């Protein structure tokens, strides 16, 4: 018998439990279901349910500190398992957490990512600063665990997790288990860590009191339950159009993708794209080691060909310190071995030597399995969505810069950007999934003014913002700062922005072109030029959004701090505090890379 999930109230019954219940019910006859309903009613009537529960006698708080949603999904999975095991647990995003009362906590689990130069996610900024400050209380009664998500190819791998772990210990808290640092291929590591956490709690003190579950967990849309990183949507490309001029130094694409009716997203959200590697690059790599496309290899439990492994499962475009070290040991190359213990030399080598160049310059013999063992698992790329679903119901748009560079007289492309730019066309199939980005959202009150600051493809989410504000008839004013190299070549979506200006949907626009005159002009210069109006908008409650490179973001922030000091007539320390308050109130949001 098929069961209708809509009969259940998902706010009362957790999704994980619901799946288990449905699996049993679907095997039952109507008579068996009627008997079961009576049995359950009798349990409630005789109050047996409360007596049968066991749970840990201390409240467990799970905090997710997420930039793109991965930490959030792991936190939700842990929460589901704990609810199923009758633990007294609460799940919160760090932006919801009343961190000044942390000394009331008994058990705290933090699941956090790291981005930029070792920075915590935007939603965690206030909590992080408080905990690292002298205001943080002693935490002698707290037990904790930390799980970190990162990318080991970066210098500040999992720094946020390491900072939280070190600081909590420093404040007197006790570790339940050692910190876990997960790399980009985190799924197996996360699942094993969840099992360890559950095992730890099963051996702590229990009591027989009533179960109290406070559920303030983040809601996950139907689309995220159906399609995610492990189960992407297979859909089609509607448009793949170059939107920079023929003389531009950049190749930037506007890409439109088809969406079915049951998929929903909001401005500020992110699109994950699974891609395949370049067949020409694969051919070069295989030929370097005189191997064959059909050589058998094993990835996990899969027996596949070398070619398929390099096409779909391996990250073959990004060199890392760990790969160089592995390659030096496998090949016993004297030079590579000589730089293994010199971090600066390794970093310099990785920056200047693509993988294919390393294979060509430092030739050696490897088996197909050894070759595959060098690479990190292929991971999806994430792009800010550049459309509003109110404007394009069954479409999602992204804006992609094609990464291209020369080395040893060869042209190399970014893995995902090369795929999107040159190897996939209209009507071709593509694997995608949506991710919420709760750290980059329009104000709930549409009367509030917004200031949008972007360089290059950082303009993507602001296209979705302005489409959304027009469609809902928002009364709040909109101001755009945009910068790139040349006005005639690099003004992305120029016709659209001009149209929004004519219709008064866009109220102010300031443009900075770094190569159209003798002296370079950048966005931060335009902000300073308009400092009086900028300060007025801040005082009128404007939300400030920044999207683009980390370097650009830092320069812009320096200019904004200068405006706060000069126009607000406050000193340097208080200007930083002022900006921090804007961040805490979600009036200062960044999406940087």
In the predicted model, residues of the chain with pLDDT beneath 50 are: 1-12, 48-56, 205-225
Helix (H) or strand (E) segment spanning residue 323: helix 321-331
Among all chains, which residue has been given the structure tokens 């390099």?
310
Hey, what's the torsion of the CAs at 246, 248, 252, 254, to 10 degrees? -50
Q: Where are the domains of the chain?
A: 5-52, 55-218, 223-275+380-435, 279-377, 450-592
State the architecture of 223-275+380-435 in CATH terms. Beta Barrel (2.40)
How far apart CA 397 and CA 516 sit, in angstroms, is: 29
> Which DSSP string corresponds to 343-363?
HHHHHHHHHH--HHHHHHHT-
Bridge partners of 483? 455, 512
Which two structure tokens, joined as six digits, stand for 370? Answer: 């050894």
91 neighbors 76 (Cβ within 8 angstroms) = yes
**55-218 with 450-592: one CATH topology?**
yes
Sign (positive or negative) of CA dihedral 406, 409, 415, 418: positive
Three-state SS letters, 417-437? HHHHHHCCCCCCEEEEEEECC
Predicted confidence at residue 84, as pLDDT, reads 83
In whole angstroms, give the CA distance from residue 147 to residue 131.
17
Tokens of 108: 């705290």
Distance CA 65, CA 111 (A): 6
Contact 434, 265 (CB under 8 A): yes
**Would you state the pLDDT for residue 44?**
58
**What tokens does 201 get?**
């709690």
- At 352-371, the pLDDT tens digits run 899 999 999 999 999 999 99
For 279-377, which CATH superfamily applies?
Answer: NADPH-cytochrome p450 Reductase; Chain A, domain 3 (1.20.990.10)
Tell me whether residue 444 is exposed, middle or buried, using C-beta atoms within 10 angstroms of its C-beta: 0 to 12, 13 to 18, 19 or more: exposed
Q: Which two tokens stand for residue 321?
A: 């310190």
Report the phi/psi class of residue 116: left, alpha or beta, with left for phi > 0 and alpha for psi in -120 to 50: left
Residue showing tokens 């493809």: 457
CATH number for domain 450-592, candidates 3.40.50.80, 3.30.2130.10, 3.30.420.40, 3.40.50.11390:
3.40.50.80
- From the list 566, 541, 590, 529, the residue with the least C-alpha distance to 124 is 590
Q: Would you tell me how many other CB atoms lie within 10 Å of the CB of residue 467?
A: 22
pLDDT at position 51 is: 38
Residues whose CB falls within 8 Å of the CB of residue 339, separated by 6 or more in sequence, listed in order: 324, 345, 346, 349
Q: Which two tokens stand for residue 482?
A: 């945009």
Distance (Å) of CA 292 to CA 357, 366, 368, 370, 518: 20, 12, 8, 14, 54
HEC string of 238-305 equals EEEEECCCCCCCCCEEEEEEECCCCCCCCCCCEEEEECCCCHHHHHHHHHHCCCCCCCEEEECCEEEE
> Are the beta carbons of 490 and 460 closer than 8 angstroms?
no
d(C-alpha 75, C-alpha 108), whole Å = 12
Assigned fold of 55-218: Rossmann fold (3.40.50)
Q: Is 455 helix (H, G, I), strand (E, B) or coil?
A: strand
Residue 115: predicted pLDDT = 76
List C-alpha distances in Å: 177 to 64, 103, 105, 109, 326.
Answer: 18, 20, 17, 10, 29
pLDDT at 271 (0 to 100): 96
CA dist 527 and 530 (Å) reads: 5
Report the phi/psi class of residue 86: left, alpha or beta, with left for phi > 0 and alpha for psi in -120 to 50: left
């Amino acid at each position: 018998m098929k069961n209708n999930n809509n009969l259940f109230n998902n706010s009362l019954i957790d999704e994980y439990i619901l799946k288990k219940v449905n699996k049993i019910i679907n095997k039952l006859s109507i008579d068996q279901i009627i008997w079961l309903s009576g049995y359950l009613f009798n349990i409630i009537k005789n109050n047996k349910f409360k007596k049968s529960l066991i749970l840990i006698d201390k409240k467990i708080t799970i905090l997710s500190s997420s930039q793109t949603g991965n930490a959030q999904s792991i936190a939700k999975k842990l929460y589901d398992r704990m609810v199923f095991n009758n633990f007294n647990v609460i799940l919160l995003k760090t932006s919801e957490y009343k961190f000044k009362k942390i000394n009331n906590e008994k058990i705290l689990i933090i699941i956090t990512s790291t981005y930029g130069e070792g920075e915590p996610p935007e939603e965690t900024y206030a909590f992080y600063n408080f905990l690292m400050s002298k205001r943080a209380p002693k935490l002698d009664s707290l037990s904790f665990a930390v799980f970190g998500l990162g990318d080991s190819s970066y210098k500040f791998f999992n720094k946020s997790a390491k900072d939280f772990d070190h600081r909590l210990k420093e404040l007197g808290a006790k570790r339940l288990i050692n910190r876990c640092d997960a790399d980009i291929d985190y799924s197996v590591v996360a699942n094993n860590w969840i099992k360890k956490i559950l095992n730890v709690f099963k051996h702590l003190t229990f009591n027989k009191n009533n179960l109290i579950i406070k559920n303030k967990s983040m809601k996950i849309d139907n689309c995220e339950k159906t399609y995610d990183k492990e189960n992407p949507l297979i859909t089609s490309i509607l448009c793949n159009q170059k939107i920079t001029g023929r003389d531009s130094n950049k190749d930037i694409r506007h890409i439109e993708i088809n969406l079915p009716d049951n998929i929903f997203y909001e401005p500020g959200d992110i699109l994950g794209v699974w891609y395949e590697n370049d067949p020409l690059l694969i051919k070069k790599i295989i030929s370097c080691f005189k191997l064959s496309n059909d050589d058998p290899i094993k990835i996990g439990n899969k027996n596949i060909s070398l070619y398929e492994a390099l096409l779909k499962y391996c990250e073959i475009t990004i060199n890392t310190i760990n790969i160089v070290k592995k390659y030096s040991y496998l090949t016993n190359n004297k030079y590579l071995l000589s730089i293994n213990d010199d971090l600066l030399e390794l970093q310099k080598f990785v920056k200047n030597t693509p993988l294919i160049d390393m294979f060509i310059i430092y030739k050696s013999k490897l088996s197909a399995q050894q070759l595959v063992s060098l690479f990190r698992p292929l991971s999806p790329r994430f792009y800010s969505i550049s459309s509003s679903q109110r404007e394009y119901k069954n479409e999602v748009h992204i804006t992609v810069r094609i990464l291209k560079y020369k080395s040893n007289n060869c042209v190399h492309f970014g893995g995902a950007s090369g795929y999107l730019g040159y190897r996939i066309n209209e009507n071709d199939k593509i694997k995608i999934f949506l991710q919420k980005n709760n750290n980059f959202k329009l104000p709930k009150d549409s009367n509030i003014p917004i200031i949008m600051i972007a360089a290059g493809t950082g303009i993507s989410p602001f296209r979705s913002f302005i489409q959304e504000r027009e469609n809902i008839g928002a009364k709040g004013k909109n101001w755009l700062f945009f910068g790139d190299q040349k006005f005639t070549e690099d003004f992305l979506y120029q016709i659209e922005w001009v149209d929004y200006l004519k219709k008064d949907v866009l109220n102010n626009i300031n443009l900075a072109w770094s190569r159209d005159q003798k002296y370079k002009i950048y966005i931060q210069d335009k902000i300073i030029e308009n400092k009086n109006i900028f300060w007025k908008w801040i005082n009128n409650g404007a939300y400030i959004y920044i999207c683009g490179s980390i370097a650009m973001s830092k320069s812009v922030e320096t200019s904004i701090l200068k405006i706060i000091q000069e126009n607000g007539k406050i000193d340097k320390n208080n200007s930083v505090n002022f900006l921090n308050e804007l961040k805490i109130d979600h009036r200062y949001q960044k999406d940087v890379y």
